[in-house]
Structure 1
């Protein structure tokens, strides 16, 4: 039996996921939580095999929560389930230790497939996403655009795109303000811009907000 914990702040989504998984007799939903504090409180009590984690779960940034999970519960496998841009966040979350990424736009039948594959030691992304990450359709060459940014750079850019100031970004990600400024400069260089307005336009193009 594969024990699954659902971490999403919307009860309707939680119930929908649980209903979608109920037809698979090899999967058991052992807990549902709405915030990261609930997540870390419940984890040691239920010891799930798979954590289905919403990218924008309240209280702590999803990638930050993922890092903490991998640090404190290294044996737990995490499937990110989100409406955020796949092209950007799939790479970032996999780099941060996720075992898979599934868009909320995906067919619910893929949930069981993803959970089973991850439970058996595999890594899950959809075939469509794998193709989009691997090739640029216009040139048929490997895409490097979305691979320019590190996981931390994506986190910083997302928060800046949401209008957050350096101090907030630093506190949210456990950095100091000087380091955030360094990331901003690095982002401008990688995205080939020389001001914040253009950088935020790039963030919009990347579907970060």
Structure 2
């Protein structure tokens, strides 16, 4: 039996998971929590195999929580489950240690497949995303540049591209503004640009934004 923790601050989502797997033969939802902070206490007190977590969470960003959980509980496989575009967040999630990314627009069969895949120790990505990654792998210049970017730098680049200011990015990623400025400076250097417009254009060129 695969023991699953669902993390989402929308009751309709957590209730939906509980109902979906209520009588499932292999998957059992052993608990639900509504914030990133609550995950830590739950996994310390319960035996969890797979966590299915939203990215946008109160108190603590889902990807930030992912990194911290993997440090303490590397045996737990985590699937990010969100409405955010997978072209952006799937890459960041996998680099941060996730075992998969599932869009909330997918069918219930897909989340079931993702949970089973993650529990086996494999990584689940949609067919579209897998092809997207393989396509980009053939573009050597993009690949080399992307590999030089840390997960945090990719996240900051995405948030900058969405129009968010340093303060908003700091709150989103649970870091201070000075650290955001540091990441931005690194992005300017690594992507060889001198202004924000060119930085965003470079991100789009790499299909990261």
C-alpha distance 163-174 of structure 1, shift in aligned 2 (>3 A): closer
Alignment of 1:190-201 (within 5 A): 190=190, 193-199=193-199
Work out whether residues 159 and 169 of structure 1, in 8 Å CA contact, stay in contact via their aligned partners in 2.
no
What residue in structure 2 maps to residue 183 of structure 1?
Answer: 183
Alignment of 1:54-203 (within 5 A): 54-135=54-135, 141-142=138-139, 144=142, 147=146, 149-160=149-160, 161=162, 163-165=164-166, 169=170, 172-174=173-175, 177=178, 179-190=179-190, 193-199=193-199
* Cα RMSD, aligned residues only: 3.0
TM-superposed deviation, 1:176: 6.9
* Structure 2, gaps ≥5 residues long: none
Instruction: List per-residue Cα deviations over 1:18-52 (Å, max 9, x = no partner).
Output: 33333531110000111112222222222210000
What residue in structure 1 maps to residue 15 of structure 2?
Answer: 15
TM-score between the two structures when normalised by the length of structure 1: 0.81
C-alpha distance 69-162 of structure 1, shift in aligned 2 (>3 A): farther
Q: Distance in 1 between matches of 2:91 and 2:204?
A: 18
Task: Answer with 146-155 or 93-102: which moved more.
Answer: 146-155
TM-superposed deviation, 1:105: 1.5
* Structure 1, gaps ≥5 residues long: none
- Kindly tell me the number of residue pairs found equivalent between the two proteins: 204
Q: Distance in 1 between matches of 2:35 and 2:170?
A: 19
Work out whether residues 9 and 57 of structure 2, in 8 Å CA contact, stay in contact via their aligned partners in 1.
yes
Work out whether residues 166 and 177 of structure 2, in 8 Å CA contact, stay in contact via their aligned partners in 1.
no
Instruction: List per-residue Cα deviations over 1:150-170 (Å, max 9, x = no partner).
Output: 311122234444534359628
